Amino acid sequence: MSQALDEIKIGGLGSSRKRVEDNRFIRGKGNYVDDIVLPGMLHMEILRSPLAHARIRSIDTTKAWEVPGVRLVLTGEMMATRNLAWMPTLSYDTQAVLATDKVRFQGQEVAVVVADDPYIAKDACERIVVDYEPLPVIVNPAQSLAPDAPLIRDDKENQHDNVVYDWEVGDKDGTDRAFAQADLVSRLQLHYPRSHPSPLECCGSIADFDRATSKLTVYMTSQAPHIIRAAVAMVAELPEHLIRIVSPDLGGGFGNKVPVYPGYVASILCSILLERPVKWIEDRSGNLISTGFGRDVYLTGELALRKDGRILGVRMHTDADHGAFFADAQPSKFKIGLMHSAFACYDIPAAHLTARGVYTNKAPGGVAYRCSFRVTEAMFFQERMVQAAADDLGIDQAEFRRMNFVRDDDFPHRTPFGFLTDSGQYGKCLDVGLQAIGYQDFLARKAEAASRGRLLGIGISTMTEPLGAGNSREYDILGIKMFDSAELRVHLTGKAILRTGAKTQGQGHETTWAQIVAHELGLPAEDVLVEEGDTDTAPFGMGTYASRSTPVAGAAVAMVSRKIRAKARKLAAHLLEVSEEDLEWELGRFYVRSAPDRGATIQECAMAAYSNMPDGLEPGLEANAYYDPPNLTWPFACYIVTVEVDPETGVWDVLQVVAVDDCGVRINPMIVEGQIMGGLTEAYAMASMQFITFDAEGNCVGSNFMDYLLPTAWETPGYELHEVVTPCPHHPIGAKGIGECATVGGPAAFVNAVLDALKGTGVRNIDMPLLPDRVYEAITMRRDVSGAPPVRTE
């Protein structure tokens, strides 16, 4: 008779265990960078450029030095004497730390002041006099590619234009043949506007260089501490073993805290020069105007269609606005990230994608803002194109998707761009969503409402996102392969400490990683302490972004737990005086196959590892594991939204939102649901209210929360969540990841719903955000509405 533990009761897989980290957060006991105070600590402030493009004639710091309490004023010229005026980006470009020759975007770092307190430093910054010579400004790819465009990166040798890269993937000849056979070609032009991750905590660092030991410790808002350590070693030319990066509690990240920012580098140099700890805490305006943006991609898309509704081929061209420096945080092999993950859930014979990146006078963009390297753009373009194609064919949008989906029995499936998807039940997810929304009933209501002048619309968006970058054959950042790691120590009392190379910023690692250990070993989750974020103690890892947590770091946790279990089996065999082959495992204990009542718990094995080891077996019960995923994981989701649009004002209200997510095995259902709701809220915000853009002079319009709106509980619609579970065949516990799915797939559902309400007006596209004035213009003028910069500000 089995004596296995009840996995739910011990907090294992499937348990909606409350987040243990919340105990400190809700009590105000979190430990963030700004909470840290070191003896003798000084404070740094950054002077930013008010102009988007200008030659620097001179910088006069005399009056700043005269302010009492100022310890150091640093300019780009001073940094250049130490070879630190420029630094490498994660995309093999270079980025100015402090401007030397000219400024290339509004908000660029020009000088820093270090003083006894941040107020003195800020006052002194205002006394620095910079003589700028204004230059022509570029704020979109069309301007950047014009024959007479000014050269933005004149610092780079052999850079004669503003093109960052030209890249392509797919089968051009096969796609051309598909279009030649098409009965109809559906075309669409779109702009996915700049978005900003807007974490509640801005960026910051405390650099502490100890001259006596030559060790540099940096407390930093980083989602990837080990990568930061490697970058600091390269930039500062310090030995890596003498650099310690500590990333404490983070107030959100969403990709914003992956890159190396100039403020980090400047604070490090200031600490080395002054031999005192130097703290830099970014203000909100600085964060919104200068740190990593997402999106800002233009698409021209075409679908080759048969009249019966089958998609024969797809062509896509994207122009990506990277700002002044190519600073994307993405696997370096793919210049446009994973944009070619588009149409992975559709069975399309041929596809071809061309991509071009350009420099503009805007802050560097391209961070993986709650997405896996441009997948959010890919899925938005995909679902907007699919919706337009269904309308062009006069086919029901749900049926059009269903007839082109990859079938359940066609996995693993090779996509037209070469990816290999793992598993899925795409049709089932769509059916669950249609039933939950009451699809046919809504269509009848919509027709009846139209007869009374009311505009109702329904939008569908499906997505399959490649998560868990990535296998070392294809994915790297700065040449470092994108594996991840875990280290597990089980103490003699059966309590354990787990360390990983990941870094939580709200995903609940401290809770869910312990649940994986509980699932693999039978240790109660409450007996497992999880630590991350300190490069002196954590095993090497690539950090947390692009939904890598569960697909890679979570897999490493499962694998290290299995190593522990394998050693525990040897200890159990010794305790029970049988061979290992005679033992069976059930959750929490080994038992003798022929005598199930004779067994040894995992806790008894732990005690034996320190007190009763068999001859020849090394003491202790600890291990580490490095997990190199064999493939990406591919969760799937279907999001359906209904709206009503007021034709008199352009205001649109969300009536209902249904989400059906298949993320494989769910470790903690409650955390999964929270991730989905948070992602849908970000999707709604991007679709409806988040407006950050630029005028003709390069001024950042929307670098404040009066214009770039964060949805509160008042504006956020309710969500109805459903699930389908298709385990990932190659992940140790069958999980696929969930953190970004709703942000990736959600925006198109809201936009499609509004455009569906306007069907019959001739309007094919309104660029996000769908502000009421844009919707009203589309209704009254019966034309598409672009949101591309520059915008008029008069």
- Distance CA(436)–CA(672), nearest Å, equals 19
In 522-601, which ranges are continuous DSSP H helix?
555-576
Element (H, E) at 675: helix 669-688
Examine the residue annotation and report whether 429 is marked as an active-site residue of this protein: no
Element (H, E) at 672: helix 669-688
- Distance CA(178)–CA(357), nearest Å, equals 27
Examine the residue annotation and report whether 370 is marked as an active-site residue of this protein: yes
Examine the residue annotation and report whether 371 is marked as an active-site residue of this protein: yes
β-bridge pairing 243-246 and 215-220: parallel
Among residues 106, 108, 143, 223, which one is catalytic?
A: 223
Tokens of 177: 């043949």
Strands (E), 663-712: 693-694, 700-701
Examine the residue annotation and report whether 740 is marked as an active-site residue of this protein: yes
Tokens of 605: 């094995």
Contact 540, 229 (CB under 8 A): no
Q: In Å, what is the CA distance from 490 to each residue of 86, 526, 537, 552, 567?
A: 45, 13, 16, 22, 11
Among residues 740, 741, 764, 774, which one is catalytic?
A: 740
Contact 382, 135 (CB under 8 A): no
Rg over alpha carbons for the chain, rounded to the nearest Å, is 28
Closest by alpha carbon to 553, among 421, 732, 679? 732
Q: Most distant CA pair in the chain: distance in Å?
A: 87
Among residues 125, 202, 345, 371, which one is catalytic?
A: 371
- Distance CA(44)–CA(590), nearest Å, equals 58
Contacts of 13 (CB under 8 A, 6+ apart): 7, 515, 516, 518, 519, 665, 667, 733
> Which of the 8 DSSP states describes residue 550?
I
Coil, strand or helix at 60 = strand
Phi-psi region of 442 (alpha: psi -120 to 50; beta: other; left: phi over 0): alpha
Coil, strand or helix at 516 = helix
Contact 683, 749 (CB under 8 A): yes
Terminal alpha carbon distance of the chain = 80
Residue with tokens 């898309």: 301
Neighbour-count burial of 456, counting CB atoms closer than 10 A to its CB (0-12 exposed, 13-18 middle, 19+ buried)? buried
- Distance CA(545)–CA(255), nearest Å, equals 6
- Distance CA(592)–CA(596), nearest Å, equals 5
Coil, strand or helix at 748 = helix
- Distance CA(100)–CA(85), nearest Å, equals 7
Contacts of 553 (CB under 8 A, 6+ apart): 484, 485, 486, 500, 501, 502, 509, 513, 541, 544, 627
Contact 247, 221 (CB under 8 A): yes
Tokens of 561: 């737990």
Closest by alpha carbon to 471, among 427, 422, 530, 531? 422
DSSP assignment of 611-651: H-PPTTPPSS-EEEEEE--SS-B--EEEEEEEEEE-TTT--
For 102, other C-beta atoms within 10 Å of its C-beta total 20
Among residues 229, 356, 370, 384, which one is catalytic?
A: 370
Tokens of 80: 């250049």
- Distance CA(578)–CA(326), nearest Å, equals 62
Residues taking part in catalysis: 223, 370-371, 740
